[in-house]
Structure 1
Amino acid sequence: MTRRQLSRKKKACFGIVTTGLCLLLIEFALTLLGVGRSTDHADPFVGFSNQVPLFEPFTDEAGKSWLRTAENKLVWFNDQQFGAAKPANTKRIFCVGGSTTFGRPYDDTTSFCGWLREWLPHIDATTNWEVVNAGGVSYASYRVATVMQELTAYEPDVFIVYTGQNEFLERRTYADFFDQSAIQLWLSGWLAKTRTYGCIDSILRRQRDTKPNPNVSVLPAEVDERLNHTIGPSDYVRDDEWRRGVRLHFQFNLNRMIDIARASGAKILFVVPASNEKDCSPFKIEPEATDFQDGQSAFAKLDFARAKEAFQTALNLDICPLRAPDDFMDIVRNLPKADDVCVVDFDRQLREVCLAEQGHDLLGDEYFLDHVHPTIDVHRRLSLWIADAMRRSEWLSPAALGTKDIPSETLADVDALIQSRIDPRKQGVALRNLAKVMHWSGKFEVAEARARDAIAKLNGDAESQFILADCLRWTGRIDESVRVYQRAVNEFPGDLRGAQRFGQLLLELGQYETAQGLFSIAVIGWPETNPRHWSARYQLSLACIGLADFESARTELQRCHEHDPKNMDVTFALAESCAGVGDTDTALKLYNRVLDAFPNDVETHVRLGYLQLNRMDPQAAAASFATALLLAPEHPQAQAGKRIASQLIATQSKSSPRT
C-alpha cells in the first residue's frame, strides 16, 4: 500500500502549529520559573552610561527605615521620602514624568502631585494614601521608564505619568531598527514581550555589557540637554527621519511603562500633556513660516477657528520642539484602555475650561507660566481631574467622594494649607530662573512677564531687573530699557554683570561717556582670572574709541591682545586705535592679520582702504575698496572710498612727468 504524502501547504501548517505549541510550552515553563521579559529590564534602543538610584535608604533616630531622594539627584528631583516598608491599608502612588510633574518652575508643594496628596484623604478616607513625586526635570519617556523600573521595588499601587514634552531635548540617533516596516516593528515589539526572548536576552546581556551595541544610543546617567550645547535653539535643524524615530521610541516607551506597571501589580494613569499655544511662539521656525503671526492676527479678529489651526500648525512645525506635537499627544490618547490603564485628557479638559472662561479654547498665558508649565491653579484642577478618573476607574474605595461632592469648607482648607506652605522668596527665585531660561531661549515676552513677577515676589532683585531691562531692549522698547537699567544700576551698584550689560546698550546708543564709566567699574570689579574682566576691558576700549581717546583705547587693547592674541575682534579694534594715534604701520599690519583670518570681512577691507588713502597710496586703496564692493556692492563707504581713490589716481597720473 502506498503512503499518502502530505502537501507542502499541510506540512507548513503542521510545522507552524508544532513550533507554536512548543513556544507556548516554553513560555509557560519560563513563566512558572519566574523568568522576566527583556522590556522589564532595559530599553533596547537607549542605554545609560551609569545607573544611579533615585532613592537611597536611611534610618531615623527611632530606628525606622526610610527611603529618600539621593542627594546627587536633588538637582533634578524633589526631596521626597517614604517608609521602606509600606504600612497596612496603604496605597502608594508614584507620580513620574518631567518638569511639570516636578512642579516647575516651583516645586512639589504646588504640583498636581502635591495637590493630589492633600485631596485623597478627603476623597477616600478609608485608605491611607502615600503620594511620592518622582518627576525629573527635563526627563523624557525613556528616562521615566527607567525611574519606574526602580520604583517597582517599593510596592507601588498606582503610577501617574505626565510625559511627552521632553522627547527632543537630548541628542539621540536611531539605528536601522526604525527602518523596518510597520509589520516588522509590531513583530519585534511582540517578541520583546515574551519570556523566551527575555531568557535569550539575559544570556546575551553579559556580552552586550562588555561589547557596546552600535544600535543602542548610550546616554549619560543624567540629563544632558541638547540645548545646553547651543546658543538657544540654534543647533536644531529640520530632520523628519529623526523626528519619526523619536515618535516611534516614545510610543514604545509608553507601552513599556504599562508592562513595567503590570509586572509590579500596579495600575497606571497617563496624562495627555497640554501646552501654551496662543502666547508662545515656536522656538525655531523656517524663515518663511508665518503660521504663528497668522494665528495672532486671526485671534485679534476673533476668528478663533482659523487662529487655532494656525497656532497648532506653528507648534507642530517647530524645529526646536519643546512642546508635545499633536501626534505625540494622540499616542497618549490612543493607549489601549484596560482595568489597570487609564488616560486623563488634560489638554481637552483644560480647553473646555478655557472655552467656558475665555470664550475660546486656545490655551495661553491664562493657564501657563511659560511654554508648558501650568499655573498653580491649573495644577490644582489637574489633580482633581486625576482623582475623578481614579474614582471612575474604581481604583478608589466604593465610598470615595466625587470631587464635586467635596464640601466647600474642605476645599477652602486644602487651598489654605497649600498656600501656607508656599515660600514667597523661593517662588521669586523660581520665577527669576524661569525668566533666565526664557531670555536665553529668545522668548523675551515670556521672560519679561516672569521677570516682573520675580521682582514683585523678591521686592526688587538685581538680576530680575537686569533681565527685564534686557527683554525690553530686545523687544524694541529702548527708552524704557534704559530707564530700567539705570534704576537697577542705582539700586544695585555692585552688580557688575548688570552694569556691563547696561554699558553695552549705551555703547550701541552712542552714549560713550556713561558707558566708559560703567565698563571702568566692571574692569576694576572683575579679577583678571575671570573672562568677564577681559570682555569689560575690550568694551571699555570701544567706548574710548567712540570718544576719540585713541591713546587710552590702545593701552587697554594692547593688554587684551597680550591676553588673547588670536582674538580678531581685539586685533581689529587695536588696529583702529593705532590708526587713530597715527601709528599707521602697525595698523596696516593688524588689519592684514585680520584679513588673513577673515578674507571676506568687508569692514576690514574698507578700513584698510581708508588707511591706505591716508598714506597716499590710492592704488592699494582702490584695490581694497574694489574687494569690499565685490563682497558688498551697495556698501556706501566703500563706494565713496573708491571714488576718492580713483580721483587721486587720476590726479597723480596728470601730475606725473611725461617721458
Structure 2
Amino acid sequence: MEGQNIQHERRNRTLVFKIISVAVPFCLLALLECGLRLFHYGYDLSLFIEYPNDKNYLYLNPDASKRYFINQKNATTGNVEPFRKEKAPGTRRIFVLGESTTIGYPYFHNGSFHRWLQYRLAHTFPDQHFEIINLALTAVNSYTVLGFARELVDYQPDAVLIYTGHNEYYGAMGVGSTEQFGGNPALVNAVLRLRSLKIMQLTADLYQKALALGSSQKPQNDGTRMQRMVAEQQIPYQSELYKRGVAQFRTNMSEVLNIFARQNVPVFISNLVSNERDLKPFVSFPVDSTRFPGFAQNYRMALDFLQKGDSTQAYHYFKKAAGHYQSHALCHYYLGQLEAARGNAAGARGHFSIARDLDGLRFRAPEEFNQIIRQLVGGYSNAHMVDVKHIFEMASPHGTIGKELILEHVHPDLKGYALMSDAFYEALKKAKFISPVPDSEMSFAQLRREMPVPSIDSLAGVYKVANLKSSWPFNAALDRDSVRTETFEERVAFDLAYRRISWENAMDQAYNHYIEGQNYREAREIVEALILEQPGDAALYSKSAMLSGQLGDERSALFSFQKAFSIVPSFETARYLFVLLLKMDQPEKAIPYLDYAIRYNTSGLNLTPVRALAQEVVALRASFSTDSANVSVLNRIASAYYKMDNRDGALLYARKVLRLNARNEAALQLVTLLRLPR
C-alpha cells in the first residue's frame, strides 16, 4: 500500500513538472509580450485610430497595412478620410474595399470612383449626409479585404463597396508574391490575426534584419514596389500555383461575404476589367516543338505575313498554329487583333480573353475570378453584383476593352473611373439603397461635366503612368508616353507626380495662381476638389459659394452655402442664403434662414420687416397659383420684393405683369425705378 502511494506521488510530481515545463515558455512569452507593450514596441495594427485634429473622429490607421507585409518597406498607406466615432442620425455610412484601382491610381484623390460617386450623391441628395470612407490600398489583395472586413463591421456600415482581384497573385500574401508564407488561406489568415501581437512583430523585424545582414554584401537595385513584390514571374494557366491563387480568392471572398451576411450589411461587389485589346501578354510560354511540331512553323509564317502587312495570310497561319497548340498567349492575342480587323467582334473578344488568361505574368485577373464573384453574389440576399465589365464593354470600340478606358494594364483613365462610379450608382439604385427623385437627380452626363478633377491631378496621373511604363514589365509591352512640362499646370503636376510637393501644396499653388489671374472658374474647381477631400470643412463650402457668386452661378452658390450652414450655422451664411433664395423667388425656403438670422442677429440690421414682406409674398403666391393672370397680385408681389431691395424678384414679377398688360402703369413705373442707377 505504501509503495502504491509513493508511486502515485511520483506520478503526480511528474505531471506537475510536465505542466510547469510546458507553462514556463508560455509565461515567458506572456511576460515578453507585456514588456514589449509596456515600452510601446512595434505598431498598433488596428484598422482605425483617433484622428489627431479632432478626437471625435476616426480615420484609417496608416500602419494598418503592416499586418500584411513581411517586409515593412513594401507596406502602403491609404486615404485620410475622417468619420465620426458616433454616427450622426440620418448619416449613410459607406465603406470601400479593394486595391490600387479602388483607391484611384494613378490620380488618387478625386480621380477615384468613390469620389465621383460621393460628388454625385451630394448633389442628388443635398439634404442627406453620406460618409464614403475608402479603405483601399495599393499592393494588397483579398487577404487585406478580408482582414479589414472583419473590423469595419463594428463601425455601423450602411453599405460596403468592393472592387478587388487583380493583385491576387502578387499582392501581399499572394501565392506568387515575395510577401507570403505558405499558400493555405486558413493558415495565412490565422497568422495574420496573430501579427497584432508584439512578439510576432519582433520576430518579423529580426527576420528582416537577418535577411538584410545576409544580403548586405550584395549590391542590388530594389526596383519598383511592383518588381519587389513578384516572386514567381511565370505562373502557367491551370498550373498548381494558378489553382492555389484561385482557391485563395474564392476562400477569402466567400468569408468576406459571410461576414457581411451575418451582420446583414448590403455589399456591392464588382467584376473586374483590364486592358485586353491593347496590351500584349507579358509572358507567352515557349511551345515544345517535339510534342507540337506543327505550331512553330505556322506561327513563324504567320508573324512573317503580319510583318509584311498581309493580314489574310497571317490570319490563316495563326489559325493553323492555334489548331496545333491552343495555349499560346501571343497567338491568341494576334488572332484577336485580326478578328477585330475582320469585323468579328465576338471572335476578337474571345481570343483577347484567352490571351489574358494564358499570360504567364499574372497582373491581370483571369476571367475565372469574375465567374467566382458572380457565383458568390448569387448565394447571398444582401450581396449585389456590379457589372462594371459590361459598362466598359458598352463604352469600348466593338465591345473590347482597351486603351480608350485603361491606362496600362488594369487602371482606368478618368472616363473609366467615372463609368465605374456610374455602375456602382446604378447598382445602389437597383437595390433601392438610394431612391433619387428624377427631376433632381444628377445625370451621368452632368457628373462628367461638373466633377472637380483639376487638370493638375489629371496630368500628374499621366506622368505617373509614363514613369510606370518605362519600368518592368511594361517597357516592352506598351508604347511610352511623351511628357511635357511647359505650362504652369504641367510643372506643378510633374512635381506632384514625382513627390517633390504634396497634393495639398499643389492645390494651394494652383488656387493662388488662378485667383491672381482672376480665373475664378478654375479657382472654384480647386476649392471643390478640396471639399471632396475634406467634406466637413464649412469654410471651403463658403469659399466655393463666393466664387460661384463671382461667376454668376446662383444655383451652385446656393448649394454650397446650404452645405456650409448645415455644418456650421452662422448669421452671415444665413444672410447669404435668404438673400439668394428671395432673389431666386423661393420665399418659402428663405423664411427659415430669416428666422435664424433674426434670432442670432449680430449686425444690428432690422430684418423683421423683410420677414413680414417675405411672408406676404408667400401668401400672395398661394393665391396666384389659383389665378395666374391676376395682375393685381403680381404687382403686389413685385412691390413687396422692391421694398425688401430684391431687385431681381421685383423685375421678374413686373415683367410678368407687362406680358399680360403692356400698359400697366404700376409695372411700368416699377421697371423705370429698377433701371435707375443705385
Q: TM-score w.r.t. structure 1 length? A: 0.50
Structure 2 length as normaliser, TM-score? 0.49
